[in-house]
Amino acid sequence: MAANGCKKLVFSSSATVYGWPKEVPCTEEFPLCATNPYGRTKLVIEDICRDVHRSDPDWKIILLRYFNPVGAHPSGYIGEDPCGVPNNLMPYVQQVAVGRLPHLTVYGTDYSTKDGTGVRDYIHVVDLADGHIAALRKLYEDSDKIGCEVYNLGTGKGTSVLEMVAAFEKASGKKIPLVFAGRRPGDAEIVYAATAKAEKELKWKAKYGIEEMCRDLWNWASKNPYGYAGSRDNSK
């Protein structure tokens, strides 16, 4: 990039860098303590980005800490199609809904939340895309004010696993069979974003709620029950 005169960068980081936050919402100034390999890779790259800027202030970098992206493009033509068994909640739910998986396993029902299940900040992928556009605009319109800046991209609202399942059932008309299990090591109890910095400095705010996320996710899944491959063998 530098060799070609491009010294502006938007990096996709993650809320996993906050680990197990002691309080919520998570601000960009919270201590960083990733608790899994994925989060640690994000932390390492964030540190590299800061070092790059310190060594050459001509670099203008924005780090975007995603919370939990959900949904699909409203057209139904673009959506998430994970290889193998999904690692995230909503792709798993959609595969149960179309009959590719028998049930959803809910890990942990004894958290200190309204229904005992973990709480996360789910954000529509379209809002996330808009956040990137806002970050790029900031890099070009306010480059003299940018060094290496960090912004949360979330809705600022926490939603439990069971609330997300209920919203998807309403959007799809499908009943999602559930199996309850114990907590998984490394899972945080409640994580959601403080969004004031992004709202003020990027002029960005999430527009969509969980109803729209589930509606667009089901629109994609119902049109593409076996993903882009269109066949039952979607593991390759």
The secondary structure of 44-73, three-state, reads HHHHHHHHHHHHCCCCEEEEEEECEEECCC
**Which of the residues are catalytic?**
38
- Give SS3 for 174: coil
- Describe the crossing of helices 210-223 and 89-97 by its angle, rounded to 10 degrees: 50
CA distances from 186 to 7, 42, 108, 141 (A): 36, 16, 12, 40
CA distances from 158 to 28, 57, 68, 190, 207 (A): 17, 37, 10, 7, 15
Secondary structure letter of residue 180 according to DSSP: E
CB atoms within 10 A of CB 93: 26
